[in-house]
Chains A and B, each alone.
Chain A
Amino acid sequence: MNPHPDLTVGVIHGLGWLYLLLFFLNIGWSVRSFKVDGQFEDILGFKHIPKAFLWAGYSALLLLVALVHFAVQSATSAEDFVLRLPEFIKNPADSVIANPISFFCLSIVIYIAIIVLRKTWVKPTVSWILFNLSVLFISVSMTDYDFRRIVGKPDNVPIVGMLFLVGFTTWLFFVKANENDKRLAEGRPVREKELSDQVLVWPDLVYTEMICMILITALLIVWGVALQAPLEEPASAVKTPNPSKAPWYFLGLQEMLVYFDPWMAGVVLPSVILVGLMAIPYIDFNTKGNGYYTFNERPFAITTFLFGFMPLWTGMIVLGTFIRGPNWNMFGLYEYWDSHKLEVLNNVNLSDYFWLTFLELPLPKPDPETSFVSQASSILLREWTGILVILFYLFAIPPLLAVTIFKKFFVKMGFVRFMVLANLFLFMASLPLKMVLRWVFNLKYIVSIPEWVFNI
């Protein structure tokens, strides 16, 4: 018998409960749709069909699916169960997810779609469809053993919840921002001013907070009882778990460590992130959007923040949690975690490219017997291309930005504030740039001086 069956009776019944829950949610949505959405004027000769009938039909289908799941009672019928993810979908999905280039492109596409299609996807019906699709994606994928193993791991369950939370808060922001942008375009006051829904701290706010506190406490208790802490064997200095993962909120940093030297990814970039977040109030000269939601009045601030938050931070957490497997290789969501998966990689420094490939000369090698000055000159000769590139990136690009695309900013902000902004911007951009260089050109380090423990 298969020790790792895709489907068991327990899994099928659990999915039945999930479909049943979705059924009840959609019954509620059908009621709402009946009251709000109106009706089709003419469909195939039938007049005045309420749009809610579509939702009611969908709900009925969900109920049927749930009942089919509950009907499965024996292990053999579980193995022959029809409603499962077919292999011809799994394999292409795996090859897209497990490839860093396509994964990163996918996250960028989602990010751009969130911003460009912001008027569309936050509409109630559209966002409800998206929510249904995400739940259906998870429930259908749960029929795969490997997906269930990685998503159902007690460590990872809250991260799935976090993804829904990120989606909800983003949706909430764009709903409010869209409404205010519409009002501002029509010359009306923003919603927060016109329909001031100010309430008293006591009792309104305190009451709400207390309810939230009780609910969260109850949730934490249920969570603590239901999901056991994943304890592992005792720690040993000579044995590292494979894969060895950071806490989920540091997985973005761990992903950065794949592309940068430890002092860069572990010290410099996190410090820049923190200092940059602290500097936002001083470099943000845009006084609009103070006290109300808006997108059109602060497009640069919001797109920049969302780029750092969604593809870079949340996307890296998803990558580190669900996709990085043994030996820190990337695995598809439906792929078995094979610790012998062979990924052919050969990372090369920029100096290697310049000397070995371009000039076809051996690398200048510092002679350890000679003086420090001759060694240093030999090292600098070896790395001069990379050093030049870095100097150009940090010192030439900000003025170039100032005279081209950020001209308005430079005029408004003044020299110092603009330079701080430009450098923070460049540091943020360095991560995706380095990732793309690694994936496309197998570039390891732009400047590689291991003799001085200095690699960029």
Chain B
Amino acid sequence: MADNKKLTTAEILALARQQDSGGGADSNDDNSGSSATPESSQAPVPAEDNKPAAAPKSTADILAAARAQGDPVQGGGFEKPKPAAAPGSTADIMAAARAQGGGATKPKPAADAPKSTADILADARAGGGSAAKASPAASQPKAKKTAAVAPVGDRPALKDMVAAVKEAQVTGGPAKPKLPVGKPAPVKPKFPSKKEKVGRRGFVVLLAALAVSPFVLAWSSMSAIAAIWSLATARFMMPNMVLELPSRFKVGPPSDFPPGTVSAKFKAARGIWIVNTDEYDGQGVIVALASVCTHLGCTPNWLEGEQKFKCPCHGSGFYITGVNFEGPAPRPLERVGISVADDGMLEVDKSVKFQEELGQWSDSKSYEVA
């Protein structure tokens, strides 16, 4: 029925394995070998019917089946039901093989079983623990190894157990937890003498001091740091800068500003020009003009040759009086307060301003008659 020529590689492999194990082991295996034959011979049947895609099992399945049959053979020929009707995944097969291996190797050393490292370690611990009870000397190297790997919390550490066993060996008795060696409790209260009383008091004080000193240290250092921080904060509140100058300041006697002149002496520091002119309404006055363009706030320059203030941003121009005449500035420069102080000096007051378009230039505080 089975056409051997059309066997796939996997099937050939499976067959070969079967024969190998059959040849190498007992004649009992013939049963399993013959039982495997129909399984593997099922595959070529659809191949004869020219339906290759329909039935052939995958290589993995065949391999799995072969393994499932082969493993009991290798495990020592136990009569055992097959793990499952359908061949499981590789993982299942491995698990099954391990389970068998574990069962088979009970007498053997645990390290030979094909288990995962974790399992081996766990077994070794369990075995080591039990073995240590029986023969402490033999378990010592193993215990050292595993203890170095991972001491587990819920179990007694191997080291402890080994120590206990050692102690038991030395004392010859059962292992006992070590109690702190102390004085036996006093039977009678002893009334202390005077000398002793002082010493004890000093001792108590010393103890108290020792107990308190960390807190003292901590609190004092913390307060010191807090004090430094508050000082720094206080310093931060007073930044290292030039504070705003007082809005009232003296600019000198009126004779410093002759008629028809513009003094830019205070422009850089105080943002004003001192102007002495009679062009506004025929009256010779000394005024203080704020050096801020009324268009967008740039600082214009006084051009002596052209006798005008000219703004570099958008080209606004102002006469010497501060009245705008060219460019986009919509209104004249602003005057600030000016007056003659008691000592005859001109005093400028920048806290007040006077706008021409609001008719404020007629205010006597906005000019000083030259």
Flag if A327 contacts B328 (CB, 8 Å). Answer: no
Flag if B295 contacts A262 (CB, 8 Å). Answer: yes
Tell me, yes or no, whether B314 is within 8 Å of chain A by CB.
yes
Tell me, yes or no, whether A281 is within 8 Å of chain B by CB.
no
Q: Mark B254-275, 1 if CB is under 8 A from A, else 0.
A: 0000000000000111010000
B67 to chain A, nearest CB (A): 47
CA of A237 to CA of B306 in the docked complex: distance in angstroms? 24
Select which of B298, B300, B314 is within 8 A of A258 by beta carbon. Answer: B314
Flag if A328 contacts B312 (CB, 8 Å). Answer: yes
Q: Which residues of A contact B326 (CB under 8 A)?
A: 345-347
Binds B, one of A17-25, A49-57, A156-164, A239-247: A239-247
Q: Which residues of B contact A455 (CB under 8 A)?
A: 330
CA of A258 to CA of B325 in the docked complex: distance in angstroms? 13
Dominant secondary structure at the B interface? loop
Q: Tally the A-B contacts, defined by beta carbons under 8 Å.
A: 88
Flag if A259 contacts B328 (CB, 8 Å). Answer: yes
8 A Cβ contacts from B238-287 to A: 267-269, 271
Q: B268, B269, B326, B358 — which one has the most chain A CB atoms within 10 A of its CB? A: B326
Contact-size category for A: 35 or more
Tell me, yes or no, whether B225 is within 8 Å of chain A by CB.
no
Contacts A238-B268, A347-B326, A451-B358 given; does A244 touch B291 at CB 8 Å: no
CA of A328 to CA of B331 in the docked complex: distance in angstroms? 19
CA of A344 to CA of B26 in the docked complex: distance in angstroms? 125
Contacts A238-B271, A243-B312, A340-B305 given; does A262 touch B296 at CB 8 Å: yes
Flag if A244 contacts B327 (CB, 8 Å). Answer: no
A82 to chain B, nearest CB (A): 38
Tell me, yes or no, whether A329 is within 8 Å of chain B by CB.
yes
Nearest CB to that of B272 among chain A residues? A238
Q: Which residues of B contact A236 (CB under 8 A)?
A: 268
Tell me, yes or no, whether A180 is within 8 Å of chain B by CB.
no
CA of A241 to CA of B291 in the docked complex: distance in angstroms? 14
CA of A243 to CA of B328 in the docked complex: distance in angstroms? 16
Flag if A240 contacts B312 (CB, 8 Å). Answer: yes
Flag if A257 contacts B312 (CB, 8 Å). Answer: no
Contacts A238-B299, A261-B328, A450-B330 given; does A368 touch B315 at CB 8 Å: no
Tell me, yes or no, whether A448 is within 8 Å of chain B by CB.
yes
8 A Cβ contacts from B280-321 to A: 291, 295-296, 298-301, 303, 305-306, 310-315, 317
Q: How many of chain B's residues have a CB under 8 angstroms from any CB in A?
A: 31
B321 to chain A, nearest CB (A): 15
Flag if B306 contacts A340 (CB, 8 Å). Answer: yes
Q: Which residues of A contact B317 (CB under 8 A)?
A: 345
Q: Mark B329-356, 1 if CB is under 8 A from A, else 0.
A: 0110000000000000000000000000
Q: Which residues of B contact A450 (CB under 8 A)?
A: 330-331, 357
Flag if A261 contacts B305 (CB, 8 Å). Answer: no
CA of A444 to CA of B315 in the docked complex: distance in angstroms? 13
8 A Cβ contacts from B79-103 to A: none
Flag if B328 contacts A244 (CB, 8 Å). Answer: no
Q: Mark A13-51, 1 if CB is under 8 A from B, else 0.
A: 000000000000000000000000000000000000000
Taking A243-B313, A244-B313, A262-B295 as known contacts, 8 extra A-B pairs with beta carbons closer than 8 A to each other, sorted by chain A number, are A236-B268, A244-B298, A254-B313, A259-B328, A261-B328, A340-B305, A368-B359, A368-B360
Q: Which residues of A contact B (CB under 8 A)?
A: 236-244, 254, 257-262, 266, 326-329, 340, 342, 345-347, 365-368, 444-445, 448, 450-451, 453, 455
* 18 residue pairs bridging A and B, Cβ less than 8 Å apart: A238-B269, A240-B298, A240-B299, A242-B312, A254-B313, A254-B314, A258-B314, A258-B328, A261-B328, A327-B303, A328-B312, A342-B306, A345-B317, A345-B326, A345-B327, A346-B325, A444-B328, A451-B357
